[in-house]
Amino acid sequence: MHTLRHFKWDLVVMLAALAVAFVYQGWGAVWLAAILIVVEIVFSFDNAAVNAKYLARLNDAWQRIFLTVGVLVAVVGMRLVFPFVIVCLTGSVSPAEAIRLALEKGDPDTAGTYGYILNQAHPAIAAFGGIFLLMLFLDFLFDTERDSTWLSWIEKPLLKVGRLDQLSVIVAAVVLLVASQALVHGDEQATVLFAGLLGLVIYLAVNGLASVMEEKEAEKAEALAESGAEEGPGLGAQVALAGKAAFSLFVFLEVLDASFSFDGVIGAFAITPDPVIIALGLGVGALFVRSMTVYLVRQGTLAEYRFLEHGAHWAIGALALLLVVTLKVEIPDVVIGLVGIAFIVAAILTSVSANRREEAELAEIAASGAGADAPAPGIFASHSATDD
């Protein structure tokens, strides 16, 4: 019941959107919108899990902003305005012409239609989104400050290699160069290089800004604590969560959501060429995903399922590489989505198994008379990121 209360407004908006779809084009539109909602929710769970890691740093006020202003950016900006902008730029048409093409709902496989023009922008979108998400995955993979690993046989050696400064940038740049030379030809090579480089620069800029602002706010909190100011640590934490650092992190989350959304917006045209139904379906799905992100934070799900964050990042890494591969090979969206889901499910199952094993070890120690204060070997010891 508590879960239903958390998603009550999402359910209200969903019913309203389906009602609009029915008025717009009958039960057929309702069915298509419902499919898009389900697809967006199911295939974006990795997005919610990763976002939860960053959203946990913000206070309740900024989490509400993430659900209100952020949703407007995600729904209106990414699911409605973004496709129009891409069509205008790619097809060299005016906004009025783009709207006319959208309302015609032409076959995406027919040259000159709205969906066809949007699909022509796929190389640039795949390169930008692929490199941005790849950077996010690599920064996680090479993060030497992590205290645990999931796929230890891969992650532990990479953590050692990760001591090399800027290794994430080097790997991403190599992937971009190889992709631009091996997967595309002609004019598309320059397009892919530019879009991929833009994704790399934007990631470094936005993520770097957020990191700098967080460090500054942390220093303020530490200074207040050392000065002995009344409620200093609490005040500092509040400033860090609601000040410039929070805004920088909010911007990073919006860009991250956009990178996840690019391919989904284009892929939706495989279900229906109608941009109105796409906006309704993907918009409601995006709202559910954002509410799911907040739910994961407030329920402490990342702590309960210790490998969920790992699985989500591996899903992102797989998505990034698959986006790059789609520059040459067409991969169905359902395949891309299922790969991500497979990582998430595997992470949840291994987390449950690890928790049970740790509980059994603690129970065995207690039964043997070792006492509650005795150190438990636990699963964390066997999965420590610092183990050789």
Listed in sequence order, the residues at least 6 apart from 37 whose beta carbon sits closer than 8 Å to its beta carbon are 14, 17, 281, 282, 284, 285, 288
Residue 148: beta bridge partners? 384
In the chain, what percentage of residues exceed pLDDT 90?
12
Instruction: Report the predicted TM-score, pTM, of the whole model to 2 decimal places.
Output: 0.75
32 neighbors 271 (Cβ within 8 angstroms): yes
Phi-psi region for residue 378, left (φ > 0), alpha (ψ -120 to 50) or beta? left
* Predicted pLDDT at 237: 41
**Position 382 pLDDT exceeds 60:** no
Listed in sequence order, the residues at least 6 apart from 110 whose beta carbon sits closer than 8 Å to its beta carbon are 116
Listed in sequence order, the residues at least 6 apart from 235 whose beta carbon sits closer than 8 Å to its beta carbon are 221, 224, 229
Is 60 exposed, middle or buried (CB count within 10 Å of its CB: 0-12, 13-18, 19+)?
A: exposed
Average pLDDT, the chain: 79
Can you tell me the mean pLDDT for 3-26?
86
Phi and psi of 384, rounded to 5°? -60, 135
Q: What is the radius of gyration, based on Cα positions, of the chain?
A: 23
pLDDT digits (tens, 9 = 90+) for 313-361: 898 888 889 989 989 988 877 787 788 888 989 998 999 998 888 888 8
Q: Which two tokens stand for residue 136?
A: 């996010």
* Predicted pLDDT at 266: 67
CA distances from 330 to 49, 87, 199, 259 (A): 27, 21, 22, 19
Q: Which two tokens stand for residue 177?
A: 């160069």
Poorest-confidence range of 128-132, 135-139, 188-192, 380-384?
380-384
33 neighbors 278 (Cβ within 8 angstroms): no
Q: Establish how many alpha carbons lie within 13 A of residue 231's alpha carbon, considering only the half-sphere containing its beta carbon.
A: 4
pLDDT digits (tens, 9 = 90+) for 238-282: 344 456 777 877 888 888 777 777 666 766 766 777 778 888 888
* Predicted pLDDT at 370: 52
Of 156, 152, 123, 128, the residue nearest 142 (C-alpha): 156
333 neighbors 267 (Cβ within 8 angstroms): yes
Residue 384: beta bridge partners? 148
Q: How confident is the model at residue 73 (pLDDT cuts 50, 70, 90)?
A: confident
Of 151, 167, 72, the residue nearest 309 (C-alpha): 151
319 neighbors 133 (Cβ within 8 angstroms): yes
Q: Which two tokens stand for residue 37?
A: 């909602």
CA distances from 274 to 28, 37, 106, 227 (A): 12, 15, 8, 61
Q: Give me the residue spans of the domains in the chain.
A: 2-382
Angstrom distance (rounded) from CA 242 to CA 253? 15
**Position 386 pLDDT exceeds 70:** no
Angstrom distance (rounded) from CA 38 to CA 281? 8
Ordered DSSP codes for 28-61:
HHHHHHHHHHHHHHHHTHHHHHHHHHHHTTS-HH
